[in-house]
Structure formats: structure tokens, C-alpha cells
Structure 1
Amino acid sequence: MALTLGGLASGLQTTDIINQLVAVQGNSQTLLKTRQTEQNSAVSAYSSMLSSIGSLVTQMSTLAKTDGWATTSATSSSTSVSATATGSVANSLTFDVTAVAAAHSVISDGSVSSLGANVAASGTIELDKNGTKTSINVGTGTLSEVVSAINSSNAGVTASAVQTSPGTYRLQISSTTTGSASSFTVAGLSGFSGASGAMVPLTTGTDAKIRVGDPATGYDITSSTNTFTDVAQGLSFTVSKVESGVTVKSAVDTTKVSDQISGVVTNINNLLSSISSNTAWDASSKKGGPLLGDSTVRQLSQQILSTVAGLNAPGLSVTSGGQLQFDKTTFDTAYKSDPAGTMAKYGASSSFAAASGTAASATYTNATAATQAGTYGVNVTSQAKAEQWQVIPPNSGVVGRTVALLRGTTTVKYDIPANESNVDAAAKLNTMLAQQGMGITASADSSGGGITFTATNPGSAGSFSVTQTETAGGATYGTSTQKEEGADIKGTINGVEATGIGNILSVPVDSDDPAAGLSVQVTSTAVGNIGDITYKPGLAQQFGSLFTQMSDSQTGSLVQAQTTAKAQVKDLQTQIDAWTDRLEAYRTSITAKFTAMETSLSSLKAQQSSLTSFFNSSSSSSS
């Protein structure tokens, strides 16, 4: 009878057995990989939401600046009158254009035969424009040199040599500005062949004029240019010819703002949908979204919906499905009937309670997403002051008085005639200062005959200087004195030292105070505690604050949640790598054991073969 061990050395699929054993041990690693995949999905979901929130922060910052809402459009009944509108108030004005603005110009009474003809024998001419005298060096005095010198003088006029016929030239000088104040005279020219040999008027500088109402009971409005600004609130227009019955209108146009709000609503709804899908449980697949159970994003969704529901901003509501809805018609109606109230709902608003016995006011002008709603005390340690100078008149009879004002790189000079009153001089100076946009006003002193100059706005930025030159017989008379140095307001808001610019106090944006970033415009005649300002953020400011809290690179809730998820992905990878090494060692170990087993079985098989041969041989011998 033959002895057999059943083919143990070759009958087993040892490779498959080893793989299955390793796979069983590798179930823990597979679970780790599944968790890592889920965390990577969470990281991607956080990234997508943070990207959406980043865009919303920018949108909210723009929407919160309600003073930039371009909400009016203008129309004109005449093609020769163009109108523009600003602000948020509808308006209308009907008028007759009775005159258009013209620039003053003069022309030589006679002519010369060539550009090289001498027309200024003294080599110098003097231009007098509204009392400001400019001496112009014209070289040898040829017509060509006179034209070039005038055009290079920056004296507010331009010159040209007009050839009226072959070999006949006349000199024309025109003001660079229009209006009655553009008049000027020129002295020192000669050599022209006309009856007087002097410069004669060509056109008279005139103001543009409109008549509002009928000829008997109406009123006139003038402008040194053809543009009339804010004649009716928020409505400006430019005329170009004389005509009657012109009507200009401004109408509230909310298209730009409502489109902006619609865009915000769409993006917020996309964010809400993303939160919903990422936190949902699918009953059919028995799987949840990557952020299932995440309280941070759930809280964000609830805060968005509760903010909208609580503010009751015109046109904006919450649907039963947890989305926002914007009704443009409702918004338009509310804005047209109450623009300030509607702006406050979307931007921000403030109220002020003055301290007892204090005549003061404070109004919110700006805030950041970090600024929290609340009531904050305003304390003024020193008031804003407008720069002020006084020109003291010289001794009686002194001539050649020149007053020069310098602000930045702009200078205005005026030669005051000896017999001119300080009232007339102040009036002329105000015109010159306004034309140069100096931000300074002149006023005649009630006694002493002096003139006081005051910066239009308070603060150090309005600083300027005044010099007065008066010389007669080698002696100088009169002085210019700084009566008040321009200074910015100083004080605190909610006890925090604020930065002052003009009469605006601002809490530093990097302050850890709830009022951080709040700016208020202060009007007060007192120092010390002037009262409390209550700041109330509207929809855009509240959303801006919420989204910033979620997305701040250091402290944002979503950023921290994403950082945690990334850390978990990294930690899981470390565990996965450790399991890879562990499984490789396990595979090596059991492979060695199976190899030893196979070796033993192979040895046994060889012994079996020998025994079988032995017994078979013994059996044959017995036979």
C-alpha cells in the first residue's frame, strides 16, 4: 500500500493566501484612506466657500458706500443744453437762456506790414487783469516777439497775429477764461497804423445768464462759464446758445444699485446652496456631504438668513426654502420715497445724543467690517481750526500794494489800487481765489480797513501763507499776520485715542476696540465729553463683518476649520505611511513563514518518495 501526504508542497496558492492575509491586516489602512479622502473633500469645500466669501467681502464693501450710489440721471428738452445729475433726489428746472458766456478779447486799432514790425518800443508791456498786473518782457518789441512773450507769460491770455490781408497784420489778445471777470487791458503797445494806435475791444467778457420765471417776477442766475452747477439740488447743466423754454430734469435711477444688490443676492444664494449640499445626508446612498455635522458652516447659514430677516431691508426677504429673494420693484419704490432711510438699511446709520448743555453734533462718515454696532462716547480735547491770516493796511496814500497767497504750488497775486476799499478788494480776491480753486475766502474787516483770509475747511491740510509787499520811497508799510494756524481735531472715541483729520475723528482700524475703524465728523464749540454716538450697521456692513469674521486669514472661523481639516489630512497621511511600512513588514514575515513551510513540505515530500521506493523494492524482493 502506497503512503502519500496529499501534495502539500505545491497544492497551496500561497501568494493569494499571503495577499489575503495582508489585505485583512490592511483594513485599518483602508479606513484611514477613506477618512483622508473625506477630509480632502472637506478642505476643497472650505476652499470653495472661502473663495465665494472673499468675493462677497469686496461686494459688501462697495455696497456699503452708499454715498457712491449713482442713482440719478438727467435729461434736457434742448439739444443745446446738456445736463448731468448727482445725488439721489429728483428735480426739475425750467428757464430761458438769455446770454451765453464770452471771453474778453481786444484787437489792435491798426495794423503793421510784417511780423517783424516793432509794436512795443519800450520792450515791455503790462497786462492788467482784474487788478493783477503782469509785466511782460517782449524783447525788441516785434509783433512776433510780442505774440510769443504773451503766450509764454501764463497771464491768463493768449495772443495771435491775424493776417487780415496780404502784408497786413493785426494783434489779437483773448482771455483764456470766460465771464465778466475775464476783462483785461494792455499798455505799452504802439506802432499800429490805426487812428488810436492802441488795442480796442473785440468782444466783451460776459457771464452766461438764465432767467427763471416770467420777465416781471422771475429772477436771473449768472455763471462766469456756460455751466451752472447745483442751481437745483443735484442738477447741473451747460448752455451753448440763447433760447427760451428749456427744461432740465433729474430722475432717480436705481438700475445700477439694484443690479448690484441682485448680484450680491445671487452670490449669497450660491453660498447657501453650497452649505446645504455640503452638509446634507443622502438617505438613498447612506452618505453625507463632506461637511456633514459641521456647526461652523451651519451657523454661517443661520446668521445670513437671520441678518436679512432682522433688518427688513427694502426689497430683500427670506424664502421658505432658506434662500434670499430680491424684489427690484419694492426696492425702487422705497428708495424713491425715502432714499436716506433705504441707504441706512443697506449701508449704515448713526444718531447722536449731545451731552447736557453742550451744543455739539457727531455724524458717522465711515466704518469697516470690524466696526461693531454700539454707542460710543465722543470726547474732544481740542477743536479743529481753520487757517486764518489778516492783511493789515499800509499808511494812507501808499501805492504799489501787492497781496500774494500761496497754498501748495498755487499762487494768487493781486495789486490793490491805493484808492480801492477793502470790501471791493475782498470781492475781487474771492473771485480770483475761486477761479484757482484755492479753498480760501476773503472778507473785509469791519474796522481798520484790513482783509482776513480764512481756509474753507478746518485742519492742517488747509494751511496757506500770505505776504504783503508795499514799498514807497524805499520804505515798507503794512504787515501780514497769521491769526490762526490750521489744526486738526483731537479727541477720543469710546476712550480710544482717535486720529484727527480736519474735524473728523477716526478710531485706528487695528484697534481691538469695538469701535475700530469708526470715523465721525464732529461739530462742537466745546471741549471735553460732547455726547454719545450710536452706530448701527446696515445689511452690507453686517454682512461684511460676518464674512470677514469667517474668512480672516488669522482668526476666521472657516479658515480655522479648514486648517484643522488640512492638519487631519496630514496626520492621516502619517498614519497611512506607518501602516504601509507595517504591512510590508507583515508581508515579509508571513512570506518567510510560508517559504519555511514550503521548504519543510518539500523535504517531507522527498522523504515520502524515498520511503515509497524502499517499500516498493522490499515488496518485490519478497515476491
Structure 2
Amino acid sequence: MTSLTIGGIVSGLDTKSIVDKLVSVQGNSQTLLKNRQIEQNSAVSAYSSMLSSIGSLVTQMSSLANTSSWATTSATSSSSSVTATATGSVANSLTFDVTSVASAHSLISNGSVNSLSATVASGSSITLDKNGTSTSINVGTGSLSEVVSAINSANAGVTASAVQTSPGTYRLQVASTTTGEASQFTLSGLSGFPGAGAQMNILAEGADAEIKIGGSGSNAYTVTSATNTFSDVAQGLSFTVGKVEAGVTVGSAVDTTKVSDQISGVVTNINNLLSSITTNTAWDSSTKTGGPLLGDSTVRALQQQILSTVSGMNAPGLSVTSGGQVQFDKTTFDTAFKTDPTGTMAAYGASSSFTAATGKSASASLSRATSATQAGTYAVDVTSQAKAEQWQVIPPGTGVVGRTVALLRGSTTVKYDVASGEDASAVAAKLNTMLAQSGMGITAAADASGNLSFTSTNPGSAGAFEVKFTETSSGSAVAGATVSQTTEGADIKGTINGVEATGIGNILTVPPTSDDPSAGLSILVNSTATGDIGDITYKPGLAQQFGSLFSQMSDSQTGTLVQAQTTAKTQVKDLQTQIDAWTDRLAAYRSSITAKFTAMESSLSALKAQQSSLASFFNSSSSSSSS
């Protein structure tokens, strides 16, 4: 049954308006809650905006703190065929003559065949000899197409192609994938190309690039490179030559433009963050309203920390204005960098100093640090030193001739077949050339007794390798020879500030998850001693300091601003719960007073009906009496 609401029909009152006003008065509490929720939502948005800015600054500060990657020099070249690149932070210049450029060794068949299916290898395999290493390549039936495919599949440092010199005429061309004198090779086992003499002739001879420094002077000297690039001739310069020419000058000059632009970008974002803090915490006396973070001590503290960090670090070029902003003076930065590049980089990145313990021959320097690493002095204790892997080969009395020496590290193998007339010293020299080209990080040496030794250039377990000494003809181990690992590669072990550190080679690293102030600190240790070797003092520069500050603010679990935002979000939810409760309460209140007014109207209606009935009764009685 539908209830009937009577709106002042009898009483003449505007009961709906009265109900609305009564409910509105009761709803003032809900309105206050809604206003508070709007304020908290504004605070959540303000925190989100600042956290976004801080996230970008964390990335920028990490890049700026990595001063080893600063591009602070620019390179020039007097020749269009010589490309120069600056690789350091100092100015330099070099003049030289390019006397030859590097070339890759290549062979061409001395004759041709009339189809790709023509047989050019009589046997099932051909032999590639390069840098003293022989590689047997299976060529199937020996057709030209199979030979080309087999050479390319062998991954032996050469590529092959069937060159069509005219319709129905094909020649085999094979070229080294690298340049330089060491790219020379021979190919045997081919017999299907017509013509006298060798089946494969030299098309281009592999040669090193060469430059001459000093012109025609008596002290002039030459430098060679297997490629056309020279990286170690002049400090801070790398250059690539393109043709033979005289009087080329390359140079590098200090140019901090890229770093200055990087710092300017950081300063712009810091100032945007500072302005955001000022706006969100301001009070407008004319409107009597405040920003969403008015009175928030967390963001005010962040503002003060930013300004005090800039003021206290004295990073060249940076200062704080009277209006509470950060300003960058490029000229001041340039002057400071040219005067003291090391000190300037330390002011922005980080620096360290080491004090060796009494009687200990040791040194340690900063390798890297994270935003969690705090400034301080930390004791360094070495449990065991890093060791470089070493192997030794002691040949039998018959020596090394006719034997193969192979070194294996991971998927890389370098092997050398010892030729007649070569002794251990010659083998070591040949192997050193091959090892350098392979990048294996191993050096070879020979002693007066004709023994060979091999040592990893870097200490640590990652430098592990294996040596094999076999008969070239059979591949079996050489009888009477001794092949042994004399030293196993081992990583350094020790502690920093009493915390067990991870060792990789000579580098000790405190786990980044450690609760210790040294968390994330990595140091390069050189020590002939164990035990307490001394103390390292770590001092973060401005970028590293800011990285730490901003990370503390924005950490997803413990960040101060993140926690403040979480609190604001919780308050928004709590307020919504209270608002919803008030909505139900006001609906019940409206229903209640509406029912009371309806009851009143009903009562008034009944009374009015009784009044009308009584009036009719009395009027009827009066008429009767008159009659």
C-alpha cells in the first residue's frame, strides 16, 4: 500500500520547504565532511605531482652523479678523412702522417667455373689456416655453392661468396672479417679451378694501419693498429683514419656544454619542485584560503633540505637566491672545471680517501655507491685476497714442436699449432697476439726451461679458463707433459664497516639491502695484506646527496612523501565512509519528520471534519427551534 504524503493541504504550511530546511541544517555536518574530503583529494593530487617530479629528479641525479660518463671535451680534426673523438676530460693535440690504412686479407680463385654446382674441392673438406690455427671445413660434395655455404657456416673469421664475373662464369672470393696484418690466411684443398699454380691467389693483403709521428725528425716513430682506429696514442683522444695523407692534426678541448645543459635541466626541475611546494603550502590572506598542503611539515622540511644541501655542498656554479630558488652560473662552473676537473666532478658526484692501517701495504678507492650509501668512514677488513687464475704447461723433453696449445674460456677457444723451429718463447709471442685479438684477457709467457705459463689479466673467479696441450696430428694428450692449474682464480673476501661484503675480483661491495650506513658502497681494493687494512672515507657530492634525499622521499615502502600521501588517501576513504553514513542518516531523518508532518495534517483534517459536522449540527438545531 502506497503511503500518502500531505504537504500543507490542511494547515496551509509549506511542509516540503520546512522539511528540506530541517534536513539541510542536519546535513551541515556532512557538508563539512565533504569539504574535508575535497581538501584531502587535493592533497593526494599535490603529493602525486611532487612524487612524479621527484621520480624524474632521482633519474637525473643518478646520471649526474656518474661523473665518469661526463662528456667534458670536444674533438676536432684538420682532415675530413680522419674522425676524432674525445675520450677524457683534458685538452690534447697530436699531429701525424697517415702512411697506410688497414685492410682485410682476401683471396680470389685463379680460375673460374661455369656453374655453382661445379666441383671445386676434390675432397670432402678444405683447410683454413689463420694466425697459426688450422680449421678443417666440411664441404660435402665440394660444389662451389657448398664450399661457399660451408665457409660461411664455419664462423672461422672469413666470409665467402661466389662472384659472377660474366654470364655463366663464377669465381670464389674469400675475405677476412677483420682487418690488419693478423687477418692474413690461406685456404687449401681446392682443386677444381682451371689454371696453373695455386688455386687461390691474394686479392688484397691484410695490413695494419700506420701513422708516423714526428715527421722527418730523428726522433720520429710509427704506431700501427689492426683497425683504422687509434685509441691509445694521445690521452683523451681516439681517432679513425680513412686514407694516406700527411700533416693531420687532431685535438681535444675542454667543452662543458653538455654537462652544463645537464645541470641546468636539473636546476629547472628542482625549482619547479620548490615552486610547487610554495604554492601548495601558501596562505591567501585575501581569500582566507590555504593550499592543500598548508601546514604540512614534511614538504616544508623537504624544501629546507633542498636549499640547505645546495648552500652546504658548495658545488661550483650553484647557489641559492634570496627568493628561495636555485640558480646555476655556467661561467663559474666552466672556470672551476678547467682549473680543477677532478675536484669539480667530486663536488657533484662522490669522492673517497683511504688511510692504510699501520704497517699495511694497501690502498682502496671508490668504485661506486648508491643513493642509500651514507657519508662516513668505514673500516676495511680483507679475509682473503683476490687471485688471478694461472696455468702451466711443462712439455716433455721433445719440446713443443708438433703440439697444439689450446686455451678455453666459456665459448671462446684460442689454439695454436706449433710449427717446426719454434720454441716456447715464439709460441708465447704468437699466442699473446691471438689472445689480444680474441679479447680473452689472458697472457702467455715462457721461462728459460721452455715451460709455458698462462695468467688471467684480471683477478677473480670470472677469470677462470682451461689449457689443453695435445699432439697436433692426433689430438691426444702429449705423453710426458704436465698441464696444471697452479693458481685458481678467486674473488676477494672481506668486510666493510663490519658488514660481510660481496667480492668480485678486487671489488668489495656492501649489499644494497643492508641496514648499515655503508649499504651499496663498492670499493676497489689493492692489498698485499689481510686483516684490518685501513679505513675508507666516503663523501657524496651534491648529485649523490640529492639522489639519497629524493630516494628517501619517494621510496615505495618507506618514502616520507609516499607515506604522507598514503595517509591522505586513507583519510579520503574514511571520510567517504562517514559521508555515506550521513547520507543514510539524513534519509532516515527526512522520512521521520515527513511522517510527523503527514500525521499532523491528517489530525488537522480530522479535526476540521469534526468542526464542520458540529457546525452543521448546531445550525440544524437552531433552525428547528425557530420553527
The normalised TM-score by structure 1 is 0.89
Q: Report if aligned partners of 2:111, 2:199 keep a CA contact under 8 Å in 1.
A: no
Matching residue within 266, 285, 288 for 1:286 = 288
Partner residue, 1:59: 60
Structure 1 match to 2:5: none
User: Aligned partners of 2:354, 2:10: CA distance in 1, in Å?
Assistant: 97
For the Cα contact (< 8 Å) 1:95–1:245, is it kept in 2?
yes
Residue matched to 1:404: 406
Q: Separation in 2 of the partners of 1:408 and 1:103?
A: 27
Secondary structure of 2:231 counterpart: strand
Whole-Å separation in 2 of the counterparts to 1:460 and 1:291: 54
**2: distance between equivalents of 1:154 and 1:16?**
93
Q: Provide the residue aligned with 1:48 in structure 2.
A: 49
Does 1:540 find its partner at 2:567?
A: no
Residue pair 2:390, 2:455 contacting (<8 A) in 1 also:
yes
Match of 1:28 in 2: 29
- Say whether the 8 Å CA contact 2:160–2:172 is kept in structure 1: yes
- CA offset digits 1:92-135 (Å, max 9, x no partner): 11111122223445667x75786799887777665543433345
Alpha-carbon distance between aligned partners in 2 of 1:254 and 1:27, rounded to the nearest angstrom: 62
Greater CA drift, 454-463 or 201-210 = 201-210
More displaced 10-residue stretch of structure 1: 515-524 or 571-580: 571-580
Deviates more, 1:281-290 or 1:161-170: 161-170
CA distance in 2, matches of 1:151, 1:455: 31
Provide closer, same or farther for how the CA distance between residues 84 and 23 of structure 1 changes in structure 2, counting only shifts above 3 A: same
Deviation at 1:167, TM superposition (A): 10
Q: Distance in 1 between matches of 2:583 and 2:194?
A: 110
2:421 corresponds in structure 1 to 419
What is the DSSP-based 3-state SS (H/G/I as helix, E as strand, rest coil) of the residue aligned with 2:345?
helix
Contact 1:470 1:478 in 2 (8 A): no
* 1:530 matches 2:569: no
Most deviating of 55-64 and 180-189 = 180-189
- Distance in 1, matches of 2:582 and 2:143, equals 101
Aligned counterpart, 2:210: 209
Q: Hey, what does 2:368 align to over in structure 1?
A: 366
> What are the equivalent positions in structure 2 for 1:142-161 lying under 5 Å apart?
154-157=155-158
Q: How far apart, in 2, do the equivalents of 1:590 and 1:173 lie?
A: 102
Of 602-611 and 345-354, deviating more is 602-611
CA 1:94–1:29 in structure 2 vs 1: closer, same or farther (change >3 Å)?
same
SS in 2 for 1:79: coil
1:569-606 CA distances to partner (integer Å, 9 max, x unpaired)? 22222222333333333333333333343344344444
In structure 2, distance between residues paired with 1:252 and 1:389: 46
Q: Residues 58-83 of structure 1: CA distance to partner in whole angstroms, max 9, x if unpaired?
A: 22222222222233332211122122
TM-score (ref. length: structure 2): 0.88
TM superposition shift of 1:48:
1.6
2-structure distance, mates of 1:590, 1:160:
99
When structure 1 is superposed on structure 2, of 555-564 and 175-184 the one drifting more is 175-184
Shift of 1:163: 8.5
Give the aligned partner of residue 259 of structure 2: 257
> Is the 1:426–1:443 Cα contact (8 Å) retained in structure 2?
yes
For residues 595 and 65 of structure 1, the distance between their equivalents in structure 2, rounded to whole angstroms, comes to 79
Number of the residue aligned with 1:3: none
> What one-letter code is carried by the residue in structure 2 that aligns with 1:43?
V
Cα displacement (A) at 1:488: 1.1
Q: Is the 8 Å Cα contact of residues 314 and 330 (structure 1) preserved in structure 2? A: yes
Q: 1:284 to 1:141 in 2, by over 3 A?
A: closer
- The residue that corresponds to 2:457 in the other structure is 456
**Inter-CA distance 354–192: structure 2 relative to 1 (3 Å threshold):** same
Q: Specify which of 501, 505, 511 is matched with residue 502 of structure 1.
A: 505
Matched position secondary structure for 1:302:
helix
- Tell me the alpha carbon deviations over residues 392-437 of structure 1, each in whole angstroms, 9 at most, x when there is no partner: 1232366311000111111111012343232222111111111111
Counterpart secondary structure, 1:592: helix
> What displacement does 1:252 show?
3.0
- Which residue of structure 1 lines up, in the alignment, with residue 597 of structure 2? 594
Return the letter of the residue paired with 1:72.
Answer: T
Q: Equivalents in 1 of 2:512, 2:308: separation in Å?
A: 27
Q: Deviations over 1:13-56 (max 9, x none)?
A: 22222222222222222222222222222122112212222222
User: Percent identity between the aligned chains?
Assistant: 77
Residue type at the aligned position of 2:572: V
Alpha-carbon separation, structure 2, partners of 1:610 and 1:118 = 133
Structure 2 regions of 5+ residues with no counterpart?
1-7
AA aligned opposite 1:541: Q
Confirm or deny that 1:437 pairs with 2:436.
no
Q: Which residue of 1 aligns with 2:346?
A: 344
Q: Comparing 405-414 with 327-336, which one deviates more in the overlay?
A: 327-336
Q: State the 1:464 CA deviation.
A: 0.9
Mapped partners of 1:147, 1:347: distance in 2: 54
Using a 3 Å threshold, how does the CA distance of structure 1 residues 612 and 176 change in structure 2: closer, same or farther? closer
* Aligned positions, number: 615
Q: Which string of whole-angstrom CA distances, capped at 9 and with x for unpartnered residues, describes residues 349-386 of structure 1? A: 11111111111111112222111111111111111111
Is the Cα–Cα contact under 8 Å of residues 385 and 458 in structure 1 kept in the other structure? yes
Residue number in structure 1 paired with 2:3: none
Question: CA RMSD for the aligned pairs?
Answer: 3.3
Change (3 A) 1:114 1:319: same
Deviates more, 1:380-389 or 1:183-192: 183-192
Distance 2:244 2:348 in 1: 44
Please report how far the alpha carbon of residue 283 of structure 1 lies from its aligned counterpart in structure 2 after TM superposition: 0.5
Give runs of aligned pairs for residues 277-356 of structure 1, distance below 5 A. 277-356=279-358
Whole-Å Cα distance in 2 between the matches of residues 341 and 167 of structure 1?
Answer: 70
Query: Higher mean Cα deviation, 67-76 or 538-547?
Result: 67-76
Amino acid at match of 2:237: L
Deviation per CA, 1:541-562: give whole Å up to 9, x if none: 2111111211222211112212
Map of 2:483 onto structure 1:
480
Distance 1:292 1:488 in 2: 54
Partner in structure 2 of residue 4 of structure 1: none
Residue range with higher mean Cα deviation, 18-27 or 45-54:
18-27
Q: Secondary structure at the match of 1:534?
A: strand
What's the counterpart of residue 4 of structure 2? none
Gap change, CA 1:309 and 1:521, over 3 Å in 2:
same
Shift of 1:282: 0.4
Contact 1:398 1:470 in 2 (8 A): no
